[in-house]
Structure 1
Amino acid sequence: MRFGQVTVVQVNGDGPEDVLVDGEGRVYTGVADGRIIRTSDDGRRIEVVADTGGRPLGIEFYGDDLLVCDARAGLLLVNPADGAVRVLATEALGKPFVFCNNAAVAADGTIFFTDSTERFGIDKWRDDLIESETGGRLIRRTPDGEMTLVTDGLQFANGVALPPDESFVAVAETGACRVRKVSLPDGAVTDLVPDLPAFPDNISTGSDGLIWITQTSPKVPALDLVRKLPAPLRLAVRRLPLWLQPAPGREVGVLAVDADGTVVHELRGEIDGFHMLTGVRERDGKLYCGSLEDRTIAITTVPS
């Protein structure tokens, strides 16, 4: 189904990559200069909540605080009342984070989060996709601070979500165009959605209990060709100006699946003034979408 009416809301920063919505309909997001901002859903009021000094990406509620995955500063807790930023972790299992990206929070305060790659940071995310690296990992942090590996070997580990019953954790593999399902507590890994037509980014569990998956861009045939080249030629492509490298398309989308991976809702199309849809949040029948590169948030309704 194509997107219906979409409201595009301007924000005062580049790349509101993920979105989080509170009970008053206010949208929290992080932008490229390190600020966490809070905006009304019409964009008329924008407040600075905090400044991480890094590049905030995934954002979740954690009690009265905000849990922030910052690609440069690590796993953070932000107090939205006074702007205080506390670092929870910058490494896990003997490895520093290279690209802390997205998270989901269980009812008991356990955090499941991704470190997207062991080789390329956020400024080189295109390089990771070209090289088809499998250095992404999904990590568990218990409320007492213990870190354990949930699974690794992921191609650009990205969005994370838990179903309402917390029987598994879903994790998006951007490089493989799929969403994996890791059963809890046994850790068995299967596919939730095995072959997406587009690159997934952040995912989230909606108020409807469905898992919502972003579709950042349709698959790029030129990227598939580049991935098959010998290593020296792949490196040559990575060194090209961005406008000569394989590029994302303008079409974006979202889909919602149930715990079995059955698609319940799907929306796609081009949105004027908005592309690179990387964050999605469903709340009470409305969809809020973030972008890695624009200065806008897109808001629409769930199809009936």
Structure 2
Amino acid sequence: MSGSIERFRVSEGGAGPYGVAVGPDGGVWFTLVHAGEVGRLAADGSVRRFAVGAAGSGPSVITVGPDGALWYTRTRDHRIGRIDTGGRQHSFELPTAGAGPFGIATGPDGALWFTELNADRIGRITVDGRVTEYPLPVSGAFPSMITAGSDGALWFTLNQAGAVGRITVDGEIAVHPLPTEGAAPVGITAGGDGALWFVDIGAGQVGRITVDGRVTEYPLPDRAARPHAVAAAPDGRLWFTEWAGNRIVSLTADGRRTGYDLPVPAAEPHGIAVGPDGVVYAALEIGEIVRLTP
């Protein structure tokens, strides 16, 4: 289906972008994973870019923190970064060497929670930089994205374990295996129905898990679409990127699916975010941010 899609060039030469978030200043903030930069796209299409480390630092997922700054993971040099809306920045080293931080989200306790791909841990960092790590009860799980749930806990995907995990703010962890073998979940978000919604990049599915652990899976029409990231909109719809399908897709609570084909082939859509006005932004690794007005 066609829609109102606008394209904004934010990088050249395969620098990204990868993660995307709508900031409290109204700008769209994004990571350039291959350039070691974070950028801001203004409403008028102008772009500012900030070097946040070496080109190999790997800024990946970005989110708005409880302090109004943007916080992001540096997957390759194993740090957590912070940049305020004025461009002032700082980064924090993690206790575990080679941890590979990836997903990050603000928790209900006023701290940031993040996943450690390589270390099978969930981390917590306060706004003044104090880090606590919690080992998972499974190894080789590849914890990926994380989000705050309606139950006051944090929920995260375990890509290689084929499971969704839950951690309380006190550090208690539960793991819920998924029914589909090779599901490889990545993106996860809290839906307006109180459940958690996730996408299975390996199985071409959207999944739903209630806070008591009941899982329902919804196969996509294109099982090879490789859904990657998912975000909830203020109207209750879910939006997700189909990396291989070259689409942005919405899903309503009653199961109505609408696909928006991207206007450029092989765009490699990754991160997705929805603003308070319902406008959708997606990061295309070919070097663009797209703005979709439903």
Instruction: Name the amino acid aligned to 2:91.
Output: A
Structure 2 counterparts to residues 181-200 of structure 1, below 5 A: 181-184=208-211, 186-191=212-217, 193-197=218-222, 198-200=225-227
TM-score, structure 2 as length reference = 0.70
Give per-residue Cα distances to partners, 1:151-209, cap 9 Å, x unaligned.
Answer: 355522111011134x211111111111111111x211112x32242221100112333
| Alignment-derived partner of residue 38 in structure 1 | 39
Contact 1:20 1:281 survives alignment (8 Å): yes
| Alignment-derived partner of residue 112 in structure 1 | 155
Structure 2 counterparts to residues 264-303 of structure 1, below 5 A: 265-271=258-264, 275-283=267-275, 284-291=277-284, 293-302=285-294
Contact 2:39 2:50 survives alignment (8 Å): yes
Distance 1:107 1:83, change over 3 A: farther
Contact 1:104 1:160 survives alignment (8 Å): yes
2 CA distance for matches of 1:97 and 1:26?
37
Distance 1:52 1:10, change over 3 A: closer
Distance 1:62 1:24, change over 3 A: closer
Structure 2 counterparts to residues 86-165 of structure 1, below 5 A: 87=94, 89=116, 90-92=119-121, 93-95=136-138, 99-106=142-149, 110-117=153-160, 135-152=161-178, 154-165=182-193
Cα shift at 1:301: 1.6
| Alignment-derived partner of residue 83 in structure 1 | 90
Q: Mind listing any 5+ residue stretches in structure 1 that lack a counterpart?
A: 118-134, 219-251
Please report the RMSD computed on the Cα atoms of aligned residues, expressed in angstroms.
3.2
Q: Percent identity?
A: 22
Q: Mind listing any 5+ residue stretches in structure 2 that lack a counterpart?
A: 95-113, 122-135
Distance 1:49 1:72, change over 3 A: closer
| Alignment-derived partner of residue 109 in structure 2 | none
Distance 1:61 1:148, change over 3 A: farther
Distance 1:67 1:108, change over 3 A: farther
2 CA distance for matches of 1:52 and 1:149?
35
Structure 2 counterparts to residues 148-227 of structure 1, below 5 A: 148-152=174-178, 154-165=182-193, 167-184=194-211, 186-191=212-217, 193-197=218-222, 198-218=225-245
Cα shift at 1:27: 2.0
| Alignment-derived partner of residue 97 in structure 2 | none
Contact 2:231 2:240 survives alignment (8 Å): yes
Structure with the largest fraction of helix = 1
| Alignment-derived partner of residue 234 in structure 1 | none
Instruction: Name the amino acid aligned to 1:195.
Output: L
1 CA distance for matches of 2:159 and 2:34?
20
Whether 2:50 is the aligned partner of 1:47: answer yes
Whether 2:255 is the aligned partner of 1:261: answer yes
Stretch deviating more after TM superposition (172-181 or 36-45): 36-45
